[in-house]
Structure 1
Amino acid sequence: MHEGLLLETERFLHDRIPLSKAMGVRLESYDASGLTLTAPLEANHNHLGTAFGGSLAAVATLAGYALLWLELDDRDSHIVIRASRISYKHPVASELRATCLHPGPEAITRFKARFAKAGKASIPLTVVLGPEDRPQVEFEGTYVAIR
């Protein structure tokens, strides 16, 4: 993935969603498997020294948003989240690292076709925080793109 596109997307998030800048969100990678973003624990901890639940939810939401923004590649569209579900499985005591799993080329193709035809489309996305073999947080969100 081109580093310039990651930086452009990061700037977009910081400009349009100021909370992402305050949280220290950084885009780490984006490829066929998904998109990963990070945020430092220092700016996102609770009174126990672990990640604040609201920060975990925000980072997960932003990871899905950023993946869809890049996949849609329509800078005049608006992306919102319609519904979400989150499970906090284990405390996060280090850098917050959220990976939005790519839904697959077929799902993206169907999503883009609906968007092109109707000017609006929705897609479910899954985000995981922590190691694959022991996720700390699991998030499912339904995102909507509107022209």
Structure 2
Amino acid sequence: MRSPGIPHPRLPLPDAEQGDDLAAFQAWLEEAIPLLPHLGLEGMAWQDDMLVWELRLAPNLNDKGTGFGGSLTAQSTLIGWSWTTLWLRAQGRQQDVVVTEASQRFLAPVRGDYRLECRPQDKYAAAGLSEQLADRGKGRITLVQRLYCDRTLCLEACGDYAVLPAR
């Protein structure tokens, strides 16, 4: 187990124009963030500009037998961090990402396995981040996360993610 204050080794960047192998990224992420293997992440995929995670409810139960808000909050924050990190990697950039602000609205109980989706808040957000990185070497992006159990929207979240200057 890693000690506090010791960063996890970075995952090498993918070859230009190849994109990440999401299974390899998930395996690295499970090593880098010790909580992740306990959150029921079954897999991830891209659907256009949206990152989608498939998750199991069983490891995220609360005392009422539905989704535990703390787990759902951690997952919504982490998928946003992952979206930003994967987007940077696709641009050939290896920079640190941190969440600076996040909010959640719980709309319905999560009663079964679920899907978590993450995409930019608007269609210009990624282009705006590209411009910020080109101009200043750092930037911010706002991402929206939505959690669905079957067709029911159970959670909406929003997070601001900062890309720190390259070290």
**What's the TM-score, normalizing by structure 2?**
0.77
- The match for 1:59 among 71, 75, 80 is 75
For 1:132 and 1:141, how far apart are their aligned partners in 2? Answer: 24
- The match for 2:45 among 29, 34, 46 is 29
**Per-residue deviation, residues 38-89 of structure 1 (Å, max 9, x unmatched):** 2211111011110100011011112211111111115631111000110001
For 1:24 and 1:133, how far apart are their aligned partners in 2? Answer: 20
Matched with 1:72 is 88
- The match for 1:120 among 138, 141, 149 is 138
Task: Using the TM superposition, name which of 67-76 and 36-45 deviates more.
Answer: 67-76
- Percent of pairs identical after alignment? 27
- 2:114–2:149 CA contact under 8 A, matched in 1: no
For 2:150 and 2:140, how far apart are their aligned partners in 1? Answer: 26
- 1:51–1:96 CA contact under 8 A, matched in 2: no
1:96 aligns with 2:114: yes
Matched with 2:11 is none
Matched with 1:16 is 32
Higher helix share: 1
For 1:72 and 1:26, how far apart are their aligned partners in 2? Answer: 23
For 1:100 and 1:65, how far apart are their aligned partners in 2? Answer: 10
Question: In the superposition, relative to structure 1, how do residues 50 and 133 fare at CA in structure 2: closer, same or farther (>3 Å)?
Answer: closer
Aligned length: 146
- The match for 2:56 among 31, 35, 40 is 40
For 1:95 and 1:138, how far apart are their aligned partners in 2? Answer: 17
Higher Rg of the two aligned structures: 2
CA RMSD of aligned residues (A): 2.3
User: Unmatched 5+ residue regions in structure 1?
Assistant: none
